[in-house]
């Protein structure tokens, strides 16, 4: 095995250790734009999970904008 191949293999192993050492592999994005008094706000929620990495998005808004 050449020196270059060993360096590439060591880099890939280090990257795999960093990826698996993290306890949570998901980014969570929440945009909460509803009024606190609104008992039933509108909501859109989506999750994309690709195995090692996931993204969760939550957006809420009030049904009544003018009081």
| pLDDT exceeds cutoff 60 at 67 | no
Q: State the Cα–Cα distance between residues 67 and 53, nearest whole angstrom.
A: 41
pLDDT tens string 2-26: 888 888 888 888 877 766 666 666 7
Residues 6+ apart with CB under 8 A from 55: 26, 27, 29, 47, 48
Q: State the Cα–Cα distance between residues 49 and 23, nearest whole angstrom.
A: 15
| pLDDT exceeds cutoff 60 at 66 | no
pTM recorded for the entire structure: 0.52
pLDDT tens string 45-63: 998 887 777 888 999 888 7
Mean confidence (pLDDT) of the chain: 79
């Amino acid at each position: 095995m050449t020196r270059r191949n060993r360096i590439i293999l060591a880099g890939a192993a280090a990257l795999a250790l960093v990826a698996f050492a993290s306890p949570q592999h998901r980014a969570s994005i929440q945009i909460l734009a509803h009024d606190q008094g609104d008992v039933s706000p509108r909501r859109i929620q989506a999750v994309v999970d690709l195995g090692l990495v996931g993204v969760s998005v939550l957006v809420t808004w009030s049904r009544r904008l003018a009081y």
